[in-house]
Amino acid sequence: MRSRARHTIGRPARKIAGFSAAALVRHGLGEATDWPRVWRAHELERSYDVVIVGGGIHGLAAAYYLASRHGITNVAVLEKGYLGGGGSGRNTAIARSNYLTPEGVAFYDRSLKLYENLSAELNFNIMFSQRGHMTLAHNDSSLRTMRWRAEVNKLQGIESEVIGPEEIKRLAPPIDVSADTRFPILGALYHPPGGIIRHDAVVWGYARGADRYGVQLHQQTEVLGIETSGGQVQKVRTSRGDIATKTVLNCTAGWSSLINDMVGVRAPITTSPLQAAVTEPVKPFLDAVVVSGSLHVYVSQTARGELVFGASVDPFAQYSMRGSLDFIEGLAGNVLTLMPGLSKMRLLRQWGGLCDMTPDYSPLMGTTDVDGFLVDIGWGTYGFKAGPVSGEQMAELIATGRTPALIEPFGIGRFLAGRLVGEKGAASVGH
């Protein structure tokens, strides 16, 4: 199979993100005095048709699609920090659709398709680089799971296949594929459409798009309570005043259980940190995104030349987002097992984000027992890649009152009904 990097940058234009080339140059020289804000600040209104809690990619995408596809523009997005300051700006920016369950594959494939067209739709370059995604197998059982995933993927028309060490070496030369390493590589699941995206750009693009339709984005606005009466949402209490509304969408990560608690909705979620790190920038040498489930590590090289490393969630539940020395030691050891040639590279920084884990490693989306309270939560380590499709589908649910088929399997009731969507084998690296 040939390596095939696709860079989806939208239509070439003399205007980038709405600014002329001359304006960009003037801005770069510090001469532009008329530089417009990408989104506006507003006073909080007393009521909105829809209030979205959480100003990350999911919340912003839902707001954008409510306005652009359904004409619902009297919408407020409430963010207690700054837009994209949570998981949206902390993830390792990987997109793929090579999941294990038919429900998961169909869902994430729709997201990939939306991502492929997003630069053009938002007129904002999200730098989607479809450089291929490889999940390495170091033992027979992982190889079996890769074959299984490849078959499930192919049945839905998703490009995925199992490749051997020679092909792995050709696609990612820094990987040590020799037989005498501690964790020899038997093969990999190769998924050409997977890749990386500039995650901040997705936040800014959706925010600007939603703002242009009249959606109000409120930063530094914390939700303190949600009032219901007769089982129906009536009001949201915030740090900047109260808002009357009949519809609230919980799009938070890390805080989703706390927001649910405000209306007494229970969900089987535990919150754990996920840490990541980035190196100094070097010349491009690694095209594909490389993941090893057994070694709990993934590696990709950004457009700026940095290597981004990630791992699985920390093995305990907590709300801290601090990095730890333990993590860096383990991560560096595992990266060097895979790519010994990187031993001289220096790490620049590390960080953590919060992951809301569900028992089956699939998200929770849909209505709840409280009328007007909807959830788009439980995103574990896979929220970034699902932002567009979740926003699209949740907007449709809010606008039409009908649960779209694509998200029907992910309803909160599945745990009571025993209809789990088990994605542990494909959710991320091994947990």
Query: DSSP characters for 117-184?
Result: HHHHHHTS---EEE--EEEEE-SHHHHHHHHHHHHHHHHTT---EEE-HHHHHHH-TTS---TTSSS-
Q: Is 280 exposed, middle or buried (0-12, 13-18, 19+ CB in 10 A)?
A: exposed
Nearer residue to ligand PYC within complex by CB, 260 or 271? 271
Nearest to 252 by CA among 368, 379, 64, 366: 379
Cβ distance to ligand PYC smaller for residue 353 or 372: 353
Alpha-helical (H) ranges within 365-418 are 383-400, 414-417
Query: Rounded to an integer, what distance in angstroms lies between the CA atom of residue 247 and that of residue 53?
Result: 11
Task: Select 133 or 218, whichever has its Cβ closest to ligand PYC.
Answer: 133
Task: State in angstroms the smallest separation of the CB of 296 from ligand PYC.
Answer: 11
Q: Are 254 and 356 in contact (CB under 8 A)?
A: yes
CB of 247 to ligand PYC, least distance (A): 30
Q: Which residues contact 119 (CB under 8 A, 6 or more apart)?
A: 8, 9, 10, 125, 126, 127, 128, 205
CB of 270 to ligand PYC, least distance (A): 17
Q: In 10 A of CB 81, how many CB atoms?
A: 14
Cβ(277)–Cβ(309) under 8 Å?
yes
Phi, psi (degrees; rounded to nearest 5) at 353: -135, 175
- Least distance in angstroms from the C-beta of 290 to ligand PYC: 11
Q: What does the H/E/C string look like for 320-369?
A: CCCCCHHHHHHHHHHHHHHCHHHCCCCEEEEEEEEEEECCCCCCEEEECC
Q: Which residues bind ligand PYC (CB under 6 A)?
A: 92, 94, 96, 298, 310, 381-382, 427-428
Task: Report the residue number, 226 or 421, with the smaller CB distance to ligand PYC.
Answer: 421
Between residues 42 and 349, which has the closer beta carbon with respect to ligand PYC? Answer: 349
Q: How far is the CB of 40 from ligand PYC (least distance, A)?
A: 33
Minimum gap (Å) between residue 354 Cβ and ligand PYC: 13
Minimum Å distance from CB 149 to ligand PYC?
A: 12
118/427 with CB nearer ligand PYC:
427
- In the bound complex, what is the minimum distance in angstroms from residue 92's beta carbon to ligand PYC? 5
**Tokens 């992951």 belong to residue:** 355
Chain centre distance of CA 151: 25
In whole angstroms, how close is the CB of 99 to ligand PYC at the nearest point? 9
Identity of the residue, 362 or 428, whose beta carbon is nearer to ligand PYC in the bound complex:
428
409: Cα separation from own chain's centroid: 19
- The nearer residue to ligand PYC, 52 or 94, going by C-beta atoms, is 94
